[in-house]
Amino acid sequence: MGNGFVIIILMSRRTSWHLADYYLFQLALSDLLLGLTLPFWAVQYGYGWLFGQVPCKILGALFTINMYSSILLLVCISLSRYFSIVHAKEFYKKQRRIHMILMCVFVWGVSLFLSWHEFYFREVGNTLSDKVICLYNFNPELSNSLRISLHLTELTIAFIIPMTFMLFFYSRIFCTLQASRLNPSKRSQLVIVVLLLVFFFCWAPYKSLQLIDALQRMGYIARNCHFEKMLDVGLEVTEILGLSHVCINPIIYAFVGVKFRKEMFRIFKRLSDQVTNSNVVLSREGTIFTDPSYSKIM
């Protein structure tokens, strides 16, 4: 709902979009598409996979594409804010629409490329308990090495690199705002700290367990049946925490902005005016019976 509302507000905006608005729109779209795939996995968890082979591959790819693009677009937003605040004087020299287009093509291209294994390995098959699910059908001899590669790739591209860039950009922004005499309040600095902490605490537990799983598969951690069961449960629980970030994004990246809130209030006011005008028309056409607790038009 939050990401859908962000898209509606941006599309109904009367003023022209800033470059950061294009990133925000794509972030909301990516998070929305990622969220729309989750009910299918929930059905699989409870009843098995009921949707066939082609949806299995498509939904797996959509999940991976939008997970990567969502995180990489956060870096794009931090980069845009970095130029607009730290290099404000050269802002128009540093950022052009063509740069934004190239960045978006890069983000979606990388995300699409990193989803290749979903198209190639995803298949509908049976588990040991004879439950039909959408799973990775790896070659048994290569299964371990492929899972290690996927874990380390996701850990690097979807956490370590984005966290490093965001930490650099937002720390520079924080220092610039701290030194600026035009920004006496601490609200902007607080928002920056919240952005970094929310991203870290949402994704760090899941990525840490992915690293442990990869190290165990590589033989650096001794294998233990009980420990592996706990690790499987931990990966499922922490993945939920990581995916909750797609619900938090519209709150911290859109609704905290003053201009965005004004646009939201304008839409609410327009809707309330329409409701009021429709009630006035109805009251002229019908009879109004008034009660101390309610009014009813007949």
What average pLDDT does range 245-254 have in this prediction?
Answer: 86
The answer, yes or no, to whether residue 157 has pLDDT greater than 60, is yes
Average pLDDT, rounded, for the chain: 83
Which has more pLDDT, 69 or 297?
69
CA 205, 104, 194, 3: dihedral to nearest 10 degrees?
-90
* Under 8 Å between Cβ of 207 and 159: yes
20: left (phi over 0), alpha (psi -120 to 50) or beta: alpha
Residue 59 banded pLDDT, cuts 50, 70, 90: very high
Q: Give which of 130, 121, 131 is closest to 45, Cα–Cα.
A: 131
Residue 142 banded pLDDT, cuts 50, 70, 90: confident
Q: Give which of 102, 110, 114 is closest to 23, Cα–Cα.
A: 102
What is the pLDDT at residue 296?
A: 34
The string of pLDDT tens digits covering residues 84-108 is 888 876 665 656 778 889 999 999 9
Q: Which amino acid is at 15?
A: T
What is the pLDDT at residue 281?
A: 54
The answer, yes or no, to whether residue 293 has pLDDT greater than 70, is no
What is the pLDDT at residue 279?
A: 58
What is the pLDDT at residue 186?
A: 64
The string of pLDDT tens digits covering residues 117-132 is 999 999 998 877 778 9
What is the pLDDT at residue 15?
A: 73
What average pLDDT does range 221-243 have in this prediction?
Answer: 89
Residue 258 banded pLDDT, cuts 50, 70, 90: low
Residue 69 banded pLDDT, cuts 50, 70, 90: very high
Which has more pLDDT, 186 or 154?
154
Structure tokens at 183: 């920004």
